[in-house]
Amino acid sequence: MICLRLIDQNNWEECIKLKLKQEQQDFIASNLYSIAESKIFPHLKIKSIYFSEELVGFAMYGIDSDDGNYWIYRFMIDERFQGRGYGKSAMKLIIQDIANSNDCTDVIWLGYQPENEQGRRLYASVGFEEVGIAPWGEMLAKFSFPSGN
């Protein structure tokens, strides 16, 4: 059973020890950096991803001050737990968490390195559609909530 949990004094150190595969490490900022960033920008939500009682991943998301939409800024599953469906289950929970929030927007955006094929497949599998390359070089993808959500 995959679930999202807050990051607190009991699990933050374990979160910063999560690792990507060597070939994925340039795709995302470290969890330590992301946790620090969330303290400077308190509108960013940071969540740990658990399978049962085992920490398997990390996510950071929030409303972007530039466009007023939700963005998933960071999402990772530790190298030891990839390929088990945890990422897809966790991404669905993040989408649901955003849908249930009081400040839900009509769409969710994310960006990823164009060579991140594993990420591309994952995001497409939960409903993100690519819209093109951003000026900063990432592929942008958008998830649209059904009307009336």
What does the pLDDT read at residue 28? 87
Identity of the residue numbered 73: Y
Give the C-alpha separation, 21 to 143, whole Å: 26
pLDDT higher than threshold 70 for residue 149: no
What does the pLDDT read at residue 27? 86
- Which tens digit of pLDDT belongs to each residue from 110-146? 999 999 999 999 999 999 999 999 999 999 999 999 8
Give the C-alpha separation, 102 to 64, whole Å: 15
Average pLDDT of the residues of the chain: 93
What does the pLDDT read at residue 123? 97
Q: E-strand spans in the chain?
A: 2-6, 45-51, 54-63, 70-77, 107-112, 129-133, 139-144
Angle at 19 between CA 11 and CA 77, to 5 degrees: 80
Residue 43: name the closest of 20, 21, 18, 64 by CA: 64
Describe the crossing of helices 117-125 and 86-99 by its angle, rounded to 10 degrees. 50
What is the reported pTM? 0.92
Burial 59-73, CB ≥16 within 10 A → b, else e: bbbbbeeeeeebbbb
